[in-house]
Chains A and B, each alone.
Chain A
Amino acid sequence: MKEMIYQTVCPGCNMGCGLYIRENDEGTVAIDFMKSSPANLGKLCRFGMQLPHHYSKATSMVDGVESSIDDAIQAASTKLKGAKDVAMLSVGATTSEEHLAFTKVADALGTVVNTGMGTYAELPPECHATVGHGIPLEDVEQASKIALFIDPYTQYPLIVRRLLAAKRSGASIIAVGPKEIKLADETKHIGPDQYESELGLDSESLIIADVHPHSDPEHVKHLLNLALMTGARIMFMKPFVDSTGVHLLSRGTGQKGLQEIMDGINEGSIKTLVTLDSDPIELMPNGVEDILKKLDNLVVISSRNSPVTRLAQIVIGTEPLYAKAGSFMNVEGQMLKNSGSSSIGIDALSTLAQNLGGKAFDCQGLHTQVLENVVKEYTGPKYKKLSCEMMETAPEEGKGNLINVYNPFMWFDQPDDNDFVMVNMNTVKSLGLRKGGMIALTSNGGTLKIRYAVAEVPDGLMLTNKKLPITTGTCTVVTAEGC
């Protein structure tokens, strides 16, 4: 009985939580705690604890038939040679080195790799450094006032203990968002026009928000203005293990957002899609399978089986994330290395690049380049006040807004015990819902009966931590009924 033990980083979000993965010779995977890991002290959130359910062996396929990885690479090379209207997608769910390798394939194809973060494209370049840069988690514990624009418990759980430590040192915490946050001294339901006046921030304060493929760029602009006007530091949490790393690697390239790519495929301006550990079916709200079927070519390079691997014409299956030789950059800007030494993914990309007319490369060379890309110092905001639009707030009369609360389980559409919506007591009473019973929600996407939990949210708002079949976007208009 042999066991391989890997030191790796949890792929749930960009916190960079270190852990051990123990793999036995039957391929069964278990987690173990790496207590000296600085970002998380070995601690893991619910997603991290359930990682054995997340990883899976990726199978190389050509036209729906299992094949060897070499055959899949050859088939992909043939398909991509001279392919027109190509889009490439890597959200940052793999190592920096593999993402960099992917960009070299993009170079050979005459295109760029999109990270799917549409927000960056909507912001003036002077802002990118502020959005992409994070602060040491220990600094969170030292802030005297914190404005929270995320739900820490659900979205980035390992930051909860940092906030609790800040509180113990006397920090005051104000949450701004749809749900009452337990550890906050106060939760405010205010619009961006009230941020400056209501929050009372100054240069000792810290703003914690997040940016992800479905963020509203207007809201990000409001937050950037808030930081600028008050002098507060700002940190944007991010959803993928290497979000910060791929942001650095894609500096200066014209980027498309996820929605833009899907629209492009839908209207026919994108005919070929190549993805690296990025599954649009998991990442987008519902309905993209039909859009993906419109592609002439769908080539998927992935370290795990996921819905898109069943749809793709070609799947190049690489080693599991924890076994890869490579590094990640977490939200603090810390480079974290895997202890693994496998380079199946990188070698596949190198072969692909060569077949398409590019040069070969290896992990060591890529790592050197990744190191060169690291930003040494952040010297503060370099942008001027941004003009931004007002955002719509209240739902229509008689309808509710069902809001996705993005979290690791949602990004990977991972099954969990979290299939319920959160509504407030007024809604429960006005709809006559039964205790322990269900609520019926209807949107443009259909009707769904689902369990509900009572939470402190404003009237007319419903929250979900799980991607539901009836959601059409971050905010879905629904009518609700008792059942």
Chain B
Amino acid sequence: MVAVGDMLVGYATDGGVRKRGASGGLVTAVLAAALEKGLVENVVVMKHINEFEAVPIITDDVEVVLASTGSLHSVPVNLAKYAVGRKVAMPAKPCDAQAVIEQAKRGMIDLDNTYVVGLNCGGSMHPVTTKKMLVEMYDIDPEDVIGEEIEKGKLIFKTKDGNEKGIAIDELEEAGFGRRDSCRYCTIKIPVNADLACGNWGVIGDLAGSATFCQVMNDKGVRLLENAIEAGRIEVQPASEKAIAIREKVNTAMVNLGNTLEGKILTEIPDEARIQYYLDQMANCIDCGACKEVCPVCACGEDSKCTMFHSLVDDYSMSMYHLVRLLHLSDSCIACGQCSDVCPSDIPITILQSRFAIPAQRKREYTPGMNVDETPPFFEVILK
């Protein structure tokens, strides 16, 4: 049947799901089948509110899974924390899958009972910025948008009247719009750390737009696919050499772009300007604690050192809370960007974290979230 390492192209057998889902509805069908056949008790899906808003829900209703939304590039949410303490199947961008594995390393998620259906990701955008971009750069009323996609480096919006308009992502990002900062320097575009790695890169010919490329990463991936095939929910066929090559090519281009942009976003700071830079960046923190709440890698809960050693009464020049988080996350920050999204003072926390985390991780040749058996460097010395 299906084996680890298989490169397949597949789609949902239900015409409606296939049409509505992002490129063929394979992921939706696989999740529905996992629930249907009792592989899991619940599924995490995004409930559609409008083109720019969706909220993660945990459901045990197959119909809800089948009706769930496809890829929404303007809804930047990390799903890992919704899987904590539960037996779920879930869709996952590479950063979602990284966070799931980091939570598993910390004993918060049981990977054996969590099925992760990975999704390729070129980057997500902030909804309010996107709406502004539509007005200013596309001359489109956000209310008229019925769909969007990224193709060949262009962000394309489809409107009610049947028209489409695409602008190169580079151009958008030069103008201050486009993807979130952390997405721009991310270099993990294919979720090889998930159970299945799905996406529309490498789907060519007649199947373009109505099928999903799917790489089987491990035994759980095999189980997911075989389960869905048995349930009659999906059909798969091997991917052609050409398709595999195209997928690899797109990935390489995206990763190279990520590497280039890293230098542009994580700008060099002259040594003598460093302290002032950090003092300025953190000056307007209002102590809301949102960055810790939303961090998908954090697992300390309420009794954490960052909060225990920090008090509003402190007269310090820098916040202990931030210094402890910068240190404690330097081995595990996955630069998912959630902290920057939720900061009420617009502090680019992800960029600050990355300035410490990227050198620390590279020095130790460690990438968080890729393999649950890799111990985070902070825990390196353990008495056997």
Chain A residues whose CB sits within 8 angstroms of the CB of B74 once the complex forms: 36
A454 interface hit (Cβ, 8 Å): yes
Is A5 a contact of B126 with CB atoms below 8 Å? no
CB distance from B319 to the nearest CB of A (A): 13
Kindly identify, within residues 129 to 168 of chain A, every residue whose CB is under 8 Å from any CB belonging to chain B: 153, 157-158, 160-161, 164-165
Which residue of chain A has the shortest Cβ distance to B310 in the bound complex?
A: A417
For the complex, is A361 an interface residue (Cβ under 8 Å from B)? no
Q: Give bound CA distance, A357 to B45, whole Å.
A: 50
**Closest chain A residue, CB of each to CB of B86:** A1
**Given A5-B55, A36-B127, A160-B284, A44 contacting B315 (CB threshold 8 A):** no
- Select which of A3, A165, A417 is within 8 A of B57 by beta carbon: A3
| A269 at the binding interface (Cβ < 8 Å) | no
B341 at the interface (CB under 8 A from A): yes
A32–B55 Cα gap in the complex (Å)?
A: 9
B304 touches A (CB below 8 Å): no
- A183 near B284 with CB under 8 A, answer yes
In chain B, positions 177-228 with a C-beta closer than 8 Å to chain A are none
Tell me, yes or no, whether A42 is within 8 Å of chain B by CB.
yes
Bound form: Cα–Cα A453–B127 in Å: 39
Residues on A with C-beta less than 8 A from B157 are: none
Pick the contact of B313: A48, A158, A451 (CB < 8 A): A451
**Nearest CB in chain A: distance from B351 CB, A:** 16
B75 touches A46 (CB 8 A): no
Task: With A34-B53, A35-B76, A183-B284 as known contacts, state yes or no: A161 contacts B315, CB within 8 Å.
Answer: no
**Residue B256 CB within 8 A of the other chain:** no
Which residues of chain B from 43 to 65 have a CB within 8 Å of any chain A CB? 47, 49-50, 52-53, 55-58
Q: Is A55 an interface residue (CB 8 A)?
A: no
Residues of A within 8 A of B42 (CB): 1
| The stretch of B25-33, B145-153, B267-275, B287-295 that contacts the partner chain | B287-295
Complex CA distance for A44 and B77, rounded to whole angstroms: 16
Q: Which A residues, 234 to 282, have Cβ-Cβ distances below 8 Å to chain B?
A: none
Q: Is A42's CB under 8 angstroms from B283's CB? A: no
**Least distance between B382 CB and chain A CB atoms (Å):** 34
**Does B342 lie within 8 Å of A164, measured CB to CB?**
no
Is B155 an interface residue when CB atoms closer than 8 A count as contact? no
Q: How distant is the Cα of A282 from the Cα of B312 in the complex, in angstroms?
A: 22
Interface flag for B135 (CB, 8 Å): no
In whole angstroms, what is the CA distance A183 to B286 when docked?
A: 12
Contact of A36 among B53, B56, B342, B344 (CB under 8 A): B53
Contacts of B55 in A (CB 8 A): 5, 20, 32, 34
A38 at the B interface (CB under 8 A): yes
- For the complex, would chain A's binding face be called helix, strand, loop or mixed by DSSP majority? mixed
Check A42–B312 contact: CB distance below 8 A: no
A: number of interface residues (CB 8 Å): 37
Instruction: Tell me whether A45 and B344 are in contact (CB under 8 A).
Output: yes
Closest to B60 in A: A1
Q: With the chains together, A164 CA to B57 CA distance in Å?
A: 34
Q: Is A33 an interface residue (CB 8 A)?
A: yes
Q: Check: B345 CB closer than 8 A to any chain A CB.
A: yes
Which residues in window 1-37 of A have CB below 8 A to B? 1, 3, 5, 7, 20, 32-36
Q: Is B239 an interface residue (CB 8 A)?
A: no
B39 at the interface (CB under 8 A from A): no
Interface contact B345-A160, CB-CB below 8 Å: yes
A275 vs chain B, min Cβ distance (A): 30
Determine the distance from Cα of A182 to Cα of B283 in the docked complex, in whole angstroms.
8
Distance A20 CA – B53 CA, assembled complex (angstroms): 12
Q: Could you give, for residues 439-480 of chain A, a 1 whenever the CB lies within 8 Å of some chain B CB and a 0 otherwise?
A: 000000000000111100000000000000000000000000
Question: Which residues of chain B are near A45, meaning CB under 8 Å?
Answer: 286, 288, 344
Contact between chains at B346 and A33 (CB < 8 Å): no
Q: Does A294 contact B (CB under 8 A)?
A: no
Docked CA distance A157–B287 (Å)? 10
With a CB–CB cut-off of 8 A, which chain B residues contact A7? 49
Q: Does A43 contact B (CB under 8 A)?
A: yes
Minimum CB–CB distance for A40 against chain B, Å = 7
Q: Is the CB of B288 within 8 A of A49?
A: yes
A381–B341 Cα distance when bound, in Å, is 38
Which of B283, B286, B314 meets A46, CB within 8 Å? B286
Q: Does B84 contact A (CB under 8 A)?
A: no
Residues of chain A with a CB closer than 8 A to B289's CB: 46, 49
Query: Contact at B286–A153, with CB atoms within 8 Å?
Result: yes
A417 touches B128 (CB 8 A): no
Contact yes or no, A43 B290, CB < 8 A? yes
B283-326 residues at the A interface, CB under 8 angstroms? 283-284, 286-290, 293-294, 311-315
Task: Name B120-143 residues within 8 Å CB distance of A.
Answer: 126-128, 131
For residue B125, give the distance in angstroms from its CB to the closest CB of chain A.
10
Tell me, yes or no, whether B111 is within 8 Å of chain A by CB.
no
Are B342 and A453 in contact, CB atoms less than 8 angstroms apart? no
B288 lies within 8 A of A48 (CB): yes
Residue of B nearest to A157 (CB): B286
Once the chains bind, are A153 and B126 in contact (CB under 8 Å)? no
Q: Which residue of B lies closest to A32 (CB)?
A: B55
Considering only CB atoms, which chain B residue lies closest to A153 in the complex?
A: B286
Cα-based distance from A451 to B312 in the complex (angstroms): 11
Q: Which of B293, B311, B313 is close to A49, meaning CB atoms less than 8 Å apart?
A: B293
Point out which of A5, A36, A416 has the most chain B C-beta atoms below 10 A from its C-beta: A36
Can you list 25 A-B pairs with a CB-CB distance of less than 8 A? Answer: A32-B56, A33-B290, A33-B294, A34-B53, A34-B55, A35-B76, A35-B77, A36-B52, A44-B342, A44-B344, A46-B287, A49-B288, A157-B286, A157-B288, A160-B345, A164-B284, A164-B346, A165-B346, A183-B283, A417-B311, A417-B312, A451-B313, A453-B313, A453-B314, A453-B315
Lowest 10 A-B CB distances belong to which pairs? A36-B127, A43-B344, A36-B53, A420-B313, A46-B288, A161-B346, A453-B313, A157-B286, A36-B52, A454-B315
Q: A36-B50, A48-B288, A454-B315 are in contact. List 16 more A-B contacts (CB 8 A).
A: A1-B58, A20-B55, A32-B56, A35-B126, A35-B341, A43-B343, A44-B342, A45-B286, A49-B288, A49-B289, A158-B344, A161-B345, A417-B312, A452-B313, A453-B312, A453-B315
